[in-house]
Amino acid sequence: MPAPNMDVVVSLAKRRGFVFPSSEIYGGMGGFWDYGPLGVELKNNLKAAWWRSMVQLRDDIVGLDAAIVMNPRVWEVSGHVAGFSDPMVDCRNCKLRFRAEDLKGPPSEIACPNCGQRGTLTEPRKFNLMFKTHVGPVEDTASVAYLRPETAQGIFVNFDNVATVTRRKLPFGIAQVGKSFRNEITPGNFIFRDREFEQMEMEFFVHPLDEDKWFAYWVAERLRWWTDAVGVASDRLRLRPHDADELSHYSKQTTDIEYAFPMGWSELEGVADRTDYDLTAHSRGSGKSLTYFDEAAGDHVTPYVIEPAMGVDRGVLTMLFDAYEEQQLEREKRVVLHLKPLLAPVKVAVLPLLRNRPELVEIARRLAGDLRAALHAMYDDTASIGKLYRRQDEIGTPFCVTVDVDSLTDGAATIRERDSMTQERVALAQISGRIQDLVAGSAWTGTARPDEAAGDA
Ligand code: GAP
C-alpha cells in the first residue's frame, strides 16, 4: 500500500482531532504541538505498550519518573553544557539559520536553501540546544537551570538509589517516559522535530565485558518491537549504524532505527552504547561512587550502558503514516487507519441503525455503557450508518457494533471489523466479552457483506 504524503496526514490529524498547532488562536508556536482527543489516546496507548513490554513483562527492568528540572551541575558534568550543540550556518542575506548537516555541500560553495544567494552562508558555528530558565525569584547566573534535553540523565543520577532499593544485579535496566526540550533551530516536518517532545528511554546497565552482546540484543529487540507490537511494516524500517563523525559526545556506537517518512529515511529511535561515560562523569562530578560490586571478580566495576531511546511524537507520526490507506470501493473512497486494536484511540463504536427508533437507541446506549466499563467505547447516531462506518474507519476504530431492527427480536447485534468490513452476529449479552477478546487479539471469524464493500451501507 503506497505511503501517504505529509499533507494528507497533517490534514487528517487536524480534521479528526489527533494533533493541533499549539496556541493556534494566537498563530501557533513553531515546534510546539497539542494532542487532541484522539491524539492523546493514541499517544497514551503507544506509551502503555512500551511500558508494558519494557517494564511490566520483564523482570530485569524497573521504572522511574524523575524531575524535568535538575541541578544544573548534572548538565555540566554530563557534557551537555559544553557539547550538546548543533553546528549552525547563517545566511548573511536572508538572516535565516540552518543546521549544517542539512546542507548539501560546504557553505562556501552552495547557495542559501532559502534565498538562493551564493557566498552568503557563514562557516558553521555551535549553538547549544538546551532551554534555559531561572529557578527562584532572582534572574542571575546563580539561578540558571535547564529544561532537560534527554530523560536519560534523571536515570543516571538515580542509579545508586534504584540499585540499592531494588537490590538488582547486573544486567538490569531503568526505564522512563517523559518530556524533553530542545531549542531546535529548524523544527519541522509536523511532529517529527519539535522543541517540546516526549521520550521513552531505557538505560540498561551491563558488565563492561558484555557490552557488544547487549548492544546487538537491544538493536534487534527494538526493531522487533516496532514490527510485532506496534505493527509497523518491516519494509519501511531499516537499521543505520552511525558514522564515527556523527556520534553523540557520549556514544561509542549508535544504530538508528529509521522509518521511510515522506521526507526520506529518518531516525525514529536510536540505540546507543554509552559505555561508562555517564556514570564515570557523575561519580567524578558528585564525589559519590556510582559503581557496582562484581562478586565474581571481587571488585567494583562501573557498569556500561546500552540505551534504546525513542521519541513518542515520532512514534505517533510513524503510526499515522504506516496505518493510513485510501481504498477505492465500488462506489466510494474510504480512508482507513489500520491501527492495531491495542493502539487504536477508540476500540469500539456502538451505532444504532435507525436513530429515530427509541428502542434501538436505548439498546445501543446500554451496550456502549457496558463496553465503556472495560475499554474505550463510543456511541454515535449523528449520521447514516455508512457515514458512521467511514468516520470510524478514518480514526482506526477496529470494531463497530450495529443495533438493528432484528436486535429487537433476536436479542443480538452485528460486530463489524474495520479492515475486512466483514461481520459477526453476536448475542447482546456476549458482545462486551467478544469485543474484549478481539481487542486482545482473538481470531476474527466474520463473514462478508458485499453491500458495504460496494459502498452502499
Ligand atoms: N538519550 C539519548 C537521546 O536523547 P537522541 O537520538 O538525541 O538520543 C532519542 O534522541 C530520540 O528522541 C530520537 O530517536 C527521536 O525519536 C527523539 N527526538 C530527539 N529529538 C527530537 C525532537 N527535536 N523532536 C522530536 N523527537 C525527538
Q: Containing H/E element for 56? A: none
DSSP letter at 16 equals T
Q: What is the dihedral of CA 320, 394, 44, 347, to 10 degrees?
A: -140
Q: pLDDT, tens digit, for every residue of 178-204?
A: 999 999 988 999 999 999 999 999 999
Nine cell digits for residue 159: 542509579
Q: pLDDT, tens digit, for every residue of 300-337?
A: 999 999 999 999 999 999 999 999 999 999 889 999 99
DSSP states along 59-83: SSEEEE---SB--THHHHHTTHHHH
- Band of residue 454 on the pLDDT scale cut at 50, 70, 90: low
Indicate which atom in ligand 1 lies nearest the CA of residue 187. Answer: 23
Q: What is the pLDDT of residue 455?
A: 52
Q: Is 388 helix (H, G, I), strand (E, B) or coil?
A: helix
CA of 300 from ligand 1 middle (Å) equals 32
CA of 197 from ligand 1 middle (Å) equals 8
Q: What is the pLDDT of residue 150?
A: 98
Ligand 1 pocket check for 340: Cβ under 6 Å:
no
Q: What is the pLDDT of residue 456?
A: 45
* Strand duo 412-417 + 423-427: pairing: antiparallel
Indicate which atom in ligand 1 lies nearest the CA of residue 256. Answer: 14
Average pLDDT value over all residues in the chain: 95
Contact between 154 and 66 under an 8 Å Cβ cutoff? The reply is yes
Ligand 1 pocket check for 196: Cβ under 6 Å:
no
Q: In percent, how much of the chain has pLDDT > 70?
A: 98
Of 389 and 127, the one with more pLDDT = 389
Q: pLDDT, tens digit, for every residue of 262-283?
A: 999 999 999 999 999 999 999 9
Q: pLDDT, tens digit, for every residue of 281-309?
A: 999 999 999 999 888 888 999 999 999 99
Q: What is the pLDDT of residue 453?
A: 55
Residue nearest to atom 6 of ligand 1 (CA): 270
Residue nearest to atom 14 of ligand 1 (CA): 269
Q: Is 179 helix (H, G, I), strand (E, B) or coil?
A: strand
Q: pLDDT, tens digit, for every residue of 372-426?
A: 999 999 999 999 999 999 999 999 999 999 999 999 999 999 999 999 999 999 9
The Cα–Cα gap between 358 and 381 comes to 12
Ligand 1 pocket check for 418: Cβ under 6 Å:
no
Contact between 432 and 372 under an 8 Å Cβ cutoff? The reply is no
Half-sphere exposure of 414 (CA within 13 A, CB side): 21
In order of their start, the domains of the chain are 6-72+148-320 (3.30.930.10), 336-453 (3.40.50.800)
Ligand 1 pocket check for 317: Cβ under 6 Å:
no
Indicate which atom in ligand 1 lies nearest the CA of residue 309. Answer: 9
Q: pLDDT at residue 457 above 60?
A: no
CA of 439 from ligand 1 middle (Å) equals 31
Half-sphere exposure of 249 (CA within 13 A, CB side): 14
* Strand duo 423-427 + 97-99: pairing: unpaired
Indicate which atom in ligand 1 lies nearest the CA of residue 184. Answer: 23
The Cα–Cα gap between 305 and 74 comes to 17
Residue 206 neighbours by CB distance under 10 Å: 22
The Cα–Cα gap between 57 and 52 comes to 6
Q: pLDDT at residue 361 above 90?
A: yes
- Straight-line distance from the first to the last Cα atom of the chain, in angstroms, rounded to the nearest whole number: 24
